[in-house]
């Protein structure tokens, strides 16, 4: 008799790399090899241990922070939370097949790779119209009001204005499909892991002002019809975000 085939849910998906890393760290905590209040190995050491890049480790740690399993202390490292065993004990039992169908954040590093392909083309297409846009200017103005990067409300306003500004650039192309693709990316940038890594990586007021200036350069190049400059500024901006939130 042929062995019974294992049935998987129709919405089964493989775990992303950062999810696999977070599962390995969770297993180490559950097994007691990473004890409460203990400092985790560095991102570089974890990357070597698991055979992945540092961006995947950074994303995994961000996901574990969101779950309350680890905490990161600036200039000190990442530590297992005191209550991590209780958090794990309260979780429902799931096997890998079931856990992998849960909705998860898209990998920020993968999102940035896609943005690097798509957004310079969007900037070029928008520049062909050479038109100002009230909504894009509204989001720019909101970003320019940020004065206290440590204030959660101001950070939330920044994150929202930032992602909607980039989406509005696609709307300015007049292409409904590009706008829809940009909407998907904007929704990804509203997920908890993206917010966590962005908040952790962009905490310096001077860096925020630099980001605002970069957004202004992108917008002005578009509305003056300088397609090459608009695409260049977008590429440079995304590369900077990559360095800030998903370092190699």
- pLDDT the model gives residue 90: 84
- pLDDT the model gives residue 100: 43
Confidence (pTM): 0.80
Question: How many other C-beta atoms can be found within 10 angstroms of the C-beta atom of residue 213?
Answer: 13
- pLDDT the model gives residue 226: 98
CA distance 66 to 18: 14
- pLDDT the model gives residue 94: 52
Contact (CB, 8 A) for 54 and 44: yes
Token couple for 248: 């190699």
CA distance 178 to 56: 28
What residue spans in the chain does CATH classification 1.20.120.530 cover? 108-245
Rg (CA), the chain: 21
Please tell me the class of the 108-245 domain: mainly alpha
pLDDT in tens for each of the 248 residues of the chain?
555 555 555 565 678 999 999 999 999 999 999 999 999 999 999 999 999 999 999 999 999 999 999 999 888 899 999 999 888 888 765 544 344 444 567 899 999 999 999 999 999 999 999 999 999 999 999 999 888 878 888 888 988 999 999 999 999 999 999 999 999 999 998 888 988 888 887 777 888 889 999 999 999 999 999 999 999 999 999 999 998 887 66
Where do the H-state alpha helices sit in the chain? 17-30, 43-50, 54-66, 84-89, 96-99, 108-127, 134-144, 152-171, 176-188, 192-201, 205-223, 227-245
* Residue 86: φ, ψ to 5°: -70, -40
- pLDDT the model gives residue 80: 95
Answer yes or no: CATH 2.120.10.90 is held by domain 17-99: no
DSSP sequence for 80-108: E-TTHHHHHHTSPP--HHHHTTS--PPPH
- pLDDT the model gives residue 246: 76
- pLDDT the model gives residue 9: 54
What residue spans in the chain does CATH classification 1.10.10.10 cover? 17-99
- pLDDT the model gives residue 161: 94
């Amino acid at each position: 008799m042929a062995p019974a085939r294992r049935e998987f849910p129709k919405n089964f998906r493989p775990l992303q790399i950062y999810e696999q890393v977070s599962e390995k760290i969770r297993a180490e905590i559950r097994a007691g090899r990473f004890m409460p209040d203990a400092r985790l190995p560095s991102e570089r050491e974890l990357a070597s241990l698991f055979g992945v890049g540092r961006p995947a480790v950074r994303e995994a740690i961000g996901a574990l922070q969101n779950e309350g399993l680890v905490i990161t202390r600036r200039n000190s490292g990442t530590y297992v939370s005191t209550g991590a065993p209780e958090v794990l004990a309260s979780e429902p039992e799931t096997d890998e097949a079931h856990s992998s169908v849960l909705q998860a954040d898209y990998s920020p590093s993968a999102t940035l790779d896609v943005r690097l392909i798509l957004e310079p083309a969007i900037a070029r297409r928008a520049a062909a119209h050479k038109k100002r846009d009230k909504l894009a200017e509204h989001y720019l103005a909101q970003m320019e009001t940020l004065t206290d990067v440590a204030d959660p409300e101001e950070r939330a306003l920044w994150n929202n204005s930032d992602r909607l500004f980039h989406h509005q650039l696609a709307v300015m192309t007049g292409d409904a499909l590009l706008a829809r693709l940009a909407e998907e990316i904007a929704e990804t940038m509203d997920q908890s892991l993206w917010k966590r890594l962005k908040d952790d990586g962009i905490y310096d007021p001077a860096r925020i002002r630099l980001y605002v200036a970069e957004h202004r350069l992108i917008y002005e190049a578009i509305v003056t019809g300088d397609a090459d400059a608009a695409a260049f500024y977008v590429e440079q901006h995304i590369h900077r975000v990559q360095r800030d939130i998903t370092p190699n």
